Structure 1
Amino acid sequence: MPPTTTAFFERTSFTNLQETFTAMETTSKMNGVVIDGYGGPEVLKHRSDVDVPTPGAKQILVKIKSAGINSVEGRVRQGLFLTSLFKPQSVMGVDGSGVVEQVGGEVTKFKPGDRVYVVCGRTGTYAEYTLANEDNLYLLHDKLSFNEGAVLPIPYFTAHRALVKRARIEKGESVLIQGASGQVGLACIQIARAFGATTIVGTAGTPEGRNLVMKQGADFAIDYRAEDYKDQMKTAFADKNIDVIIEMNCDTNIALDMDIIGEGGRIVIVGKKGEAKCDPSRLMLKEALMMGSGLRLATEEDRELIARDLYAGVEEGWLRPHINKVYSLEEAGTAHWEMENQRGALGKSIIAVE
């Protein structure tokens, strides 16, 4: 699976994630999935005695209906990332959807009963309840189910920022999405079309992935493993300038991206799996740009704009979250194992909590 960006979690000013979770009074217990020590999927343990957190003055308690499963959570589980936040016995999960259960005394944007989705809260989302700061929540459109709402947060926010804020996509441009069948890639297809791209080409390594890419609205889906990959690319773009490349796996593709990007084009790196080596001088004659993208530097205003665009996308009909597979809380370990061992990405899976 092409990796979802992890830069978002490295410094999130809007969630204060660099602080250790504060001790909170609890009044009851809940079901949740905790990290029972760092390691493989087997360390994810379902428990029925997890404390329900109590919101502070500017915090909100959300009754989780569905939790998203993100690739970054594999690194968290292994103790490779966010260890100061996700300690052993912490609840796993960084995003999800649900209903506002309780609000702190200084909360002004939300009230009990509001349908919302969470973009990285103060506690994990693989549980019946999660705690979030007010600016971590966004209204969930009534036309979306809670399962669909759990697909939104990290993938769509990441895709929007990469295309709109970083690449500054314009109407009439052509877009190549490397790793288009993954959760961020599918969101990129929909957002690129909504913002006026006229040619959208996605790559995927399996027939199922390529079928999904086409179903989501791409003009062409190409097997990046094929021997005639470059010929297929030339046919797909019909000798047009490739204006924007969204790259999910730069350690594998970055040299190729620099070869095929058009004059004045933009390569936006969203993810990688290993070390990337390239010669930036390839960009000189084309005056092309290569840049990174993540949510780490997104301001509160940036995030509000993304949320408004996504809400409008539901109204207009172009935003259609794709759910790969639905698991239960008890199946969290299985979900992680399958995420890390599947052949080819097929969008985002979720955990149906209720």
Structure 2
Amino acid sequence: MKAVVVTEFGGPEVLKYMETEKPLINSKQVLIRVVATSVNFADIKSRHGNYHGAGQPPFIPGLDAAGIIEAAGSEVQYVKAGDRVIAFPKNGSYSEYVVADENLTFVLPDNVDFDTAAACPTVSFTSYKLLADVARLEPGETVLIHAAAGGIGTTAIQLAKILGAGRVIGTVGSERKIPAAREAGADHVICYETEDFAEKVNELTAGQGADVILDSISGWVAEKSLECLAMYGRLVNFGNAAGGMVGQFKTTDLHSSCRSVLGFSLGTTRNNRPHFLRDTANQVLGFLADGRLNMKIGKRFSLEDAASAHQWVESRQSIGKVLLKVSDVK
């Protein structure tokens, strides 16, 4: 089969489109013919050797895939050959075939197409877990979402509204990205290159601050977020797009105000508590099926052009999800 392989740590040029062995399944796994997969920022980090849990080269990158089950192991009970599914594969998704455990494979509603499905798993599962389970969003609360024009940002904006947020504020790093966050449903969008986002959030909330803040950037953005986190507020960190910079907090910033700083990793959850994702899948796929959640797809590339897709995502110009098309199945 054809696959894209990280041959060594480095820039996009280390991604090689080549012939590899078709994977084998065990009794509790399924073999999926991939129709499309998505590019996530974690793929960039793994290519550089900076993603937790990433293997040593050579390896196939990619976290999620949409496709059709071609074969199922003898102990698989809830999915079967021919099912249209999304999955979190065992060993990368930039390939024509992937293997996934049954408990990380989810059947698609009939009216959800493969492009939508491929854009969905990582960003929608992460967004739902952050809001519903980690931050425990309450109806009417104000949510602040950093990097609001990206794949998770545009998805989290919608899910915050679906889950009852009273107001959703987004931040972006470029004024060019403001329309994408507004289109996703943000009530206010702040460009932190031209405005003090904490000051603006406090102004918009009459000095109360945001009840929930989703932070995938870390560094100074995480630290400054405490300046606009409400009493009893929850700051949830789920990434470090700022690179080597880390956010630092004092215990005095938290206890008397009853505020919390929380963390979440979808990768850790997939590896250690995969059963946590079954209810998440049911909720997210239901929202996709009834039209309340729309996946924002920015660009599509062929599998062979994965290096170009990585260049686009790494340029920070991408808006919404970037897909790799693997086959022409509709």
Check whether TM > 0.5.
yes
The alignment status of 1:224 with 2:192, answered yes or no, reads yes
Matches of 2:199 and 2:258, distance apart in 1: 24
- Measured against aligned partners, the alpha-carbon deviations of 1:128-187 in whole angstroms (never above 9, x if no partner) come to 111111112111222222111111111111111111111100111111111111211122
Q: TM-score by structure 2 length?
A: 0.91
The alignment status of 1:87 with 2:53, answered yes or no, reads no
Contact 2:144–2:210, Cα closer than 8 Å, also in 1: yes
Judged with a 3 Å threshold, the aligned counterparts in structure 2 of structure 1 residues 85 and 234 are, in CA distance, closer, same or farther, namely closer
Contact 2:201–2:210, Cα closer than 8 Å, also in 1: no
Matches of 2:201 and 2:180, distance apart in 1: 18
Task: Output the amino acid matched with 1:350.
Answer: L
Runs of 4+ in 1 over 6 A off after TM superposition: none
Judged with a 3 Å threshold, the aligned counterparts in structure 2 of structure 1 residues 165 and 83 are, in CA distance, closer, same or farther, namely closer
Who is 1:106 aligned against? 75
Matches of 2:252 and 2:280, distance apart in 1: 34
CA shift for structure 1 position 235: 4.0
The alignment status of 1:317 with 2:291, answered yes or no, reads yes
Matches of 1:313 and 1:108, distance apart in 2: 25
Contact 2:4–2:94, Cα closer than 8 Å, also in 1: yes
CA shift for structure 1 position 239: 4.1
Secondary structure in 1 matching 2:282 = helix
Task: Give the alignment partner of residue 302 of structure 1, picking from 270, 273, 276.
Answer: 276
Contact 2:201–2:228, Cα closer than 8 Å, also in 1: no
Secondary structure in 2 matching 1:117 = strand
Identity value in percent: 30
Matches of 1:257 and 1:107, distance apart in 2: 45
Matches of 1:283 and 1:83, distance apart in 2: 31
Who is 2:93 aligned against? 125
CA shift for structure 1 position 238: 4.2
Contact 1:201–1:221, Cα closer than 8 Å, also in 2: yes
The alignment status of 1:351 with 2:324, answered yes or no, reads yes
CA shift for structure 1 position 335: 1.1
Contact 1:93–1:124, Cα closer than 8 Å, also in 2: yes
Structure 1 unaligned blocks of 5 or more:
1-29
CA shift for structure 1 position 240: 4.5
The within-5 A match list for 1:159-174 is: 159-174=127-142
Task: Output the amino acid matched with 1:104.
Answer: G
Task: Give the alignment partner of residue 310 of structure 2, picking from 324, 332, 336.
Answer: 336
Secondary structure in 1 matching 2:189 = strand
CA shift for structure 1 position 226: 1.7
Task: Tell me the C-alpha RMSD between the 2 structures.
Answer: 1.9
Task: Output the amino acid matched with 1:50.
Answer: T
Q: TM-score by structure 1 length?
A: 0.85
Matches of 1:86 and 1:193, distance apart in 2: 40
Task: Give the alignment partner of residue 45 of structure 2, picking from 45, 50, 75.
Answer: 75
Secondary structure in 2 matching 1:265 = strand
The alignment status of 1:60 with 2:66, answered yes or no, reads no
CA shift for structure 1 position 84: 6.8
The alignment status of 1:31 with 2:5, answered yes or no, reads no
Matches of 2:206 and 2:111, distance apart in 1: 38
Task: Output the amino acid matched with 1:34.
Answer: V
Contact 1:76–1:86, Cα closer than 8 Å, also in 2: no
Matches of 1:83 and 1:170, distance apart in 2: 33
Matches of 1:80 and 1:242, distance apart in 2: 31
Task: Output the amino acid matched with 1:247.
Answer: D
Contact 2:35–2:114, Cα closer than 8 Å, also in 1: yes
Matches of 2:260 and 2:196, distance apart in 1: 26
Who is 2:168 aligned against? 200
Matches of 1:215 and 1:67, distance apart in 2: 24
Contact 1:259–1:282, Cα closer than 8 Å, also in 2: no
Secondary structure in 1 matching 2:249 = coil
Matches of 2:199 and 2:259, distance apart in 1: 22
> How many pairs are equivalent?
321
CA shift for structure 1 position 102: 0.9
